[in-house]
Amino acid sequence: MERPSHLIDTHEVVGASAAEVRPIPVTRTFLPDLAAYTELMRGVWERGWLTNHGPLVKDLENRLREYLNAPDLFVLNNGTVALQIGIKALDLRDEVIVTPFSYVATVSSAVWENCTPVFADIDPVHLTIDPKAVERAITPRTTGILATHVFGVPCATEELQDIADRHGLRILYDGAHVFGVRYLGKPITAYGDVTTLSFHATKLFHTIEGGAVIARNAELGHKLSYMRNFGHNGPEAFQGIGINGKMSEAHAAMGHLVLDSMDHIARSRKISWEAYRDALGDITALELLHVREGTDYNHAYFPVVFDTEARLLKVREALRAEHIEPRRYFYPSLDTLPYVVSEACAVSRSIAQRVLCLPLFADMHPELVPRIAGIVRAGL
């Protein structure tokens, strides 16, 4: 597939002058054809139906249910609202066991919903929450587990489910990184009680801003469906309390076009991800991502873990000098947040200080990965 001209970064073009250089970001939003988006929006104008579960939203919801094999999926206006609704729907309160290695929204959502986060450290190999640490953190006040699938790598879902079943706990998975992932032959959204997704513009699949919440069964799914719409269970009926979590037609229009291109996006990212692996896999000062066995991976991110923070900082400066912007993702470890009280999570703090995500997005110029890899090597 020929790269659309609007996706070609002048910094990737050989011989570009300094005035033409634009920084290479850690990710770049996939933008479909503007004329196709305009055509969908023309229909929105003609119908005059911009929100409140319009036809584009309903159709996108159905397409995503089929694409992800998740029948009880409901689209929302963002992934943080998805977490908040998931916490409410599962009646999580008091103590909730959380991971310290995630984006801040995972923990801040729990605090916002008046839960007390109790941190369990991470597995140093896969970077997901450590089931042994989870079990040690359980007290009589524990009501649930809020775990993050990290960089597209699933948590140890079977071990966590065993723990939850034995202790009568609910599991909420933050699945912002695992769009399309399958694990042990099943969609990743089949695990736990509720899984949330983010459709932010930086994600593999996006609706500019957006998200989804997926229930394990239809009964819980019905609860999620009215909680995202002020509690409505019909035009003049209210099932219970809810908030405004609705997605607009403008956002759904973008989602349709991005979903149309998902095969291309997936192939393109895989090529760049594997090129990074081949170029950097032999460097002893770097640890590459360990994808959990049994995972059909989505190539969402390319993190590298340095042996020291000093090496990370040196390489980051070398990349920035060439107008390339990696990201310390996730940094800092969330057990250091000023509004939580926690014992130190040593593994998470160590990884957070040494992990750097390199640029990865669809339609990367074929010379960009070897260029970045060369700068990394030279900076070590």
pLDDT tens digit sequence for 360-373: 999 999 999 999 99
pLDDT tens digit sequence for 271-319: 999 999 999 999 999 999 999 999 999 999 999 999 999 999 999 999 9
- Model pTM? 0.94
Write the burial class of residue 101 (CB in 10 Å: 0-12 exposed, 13-18 middle, 19+ buried): buried
Q: Is the pLDDT of residue 246 over 60?
A: yes
Banded pLDDT at 172 (limits 50, 70, 90): very high
List of long-range contacts for 191-196, beta carbons under 8 Å, 24+ apart: 191/154, 191/155, 191/157, 191/161, 192/147, 192/157, 192/160, 192/161, 192/216, 193/90, 193/220, 194/86, 194/89, 194/90, 194/170, 194/220, 194/224, 196/79, 196/82, 196/83, 196/86, 196/172
Set out the domains of the chain in order of their start, with CATH numbers: 34-120+127-259 (3.40.640.10), 262-379 (3.90.1150.10)
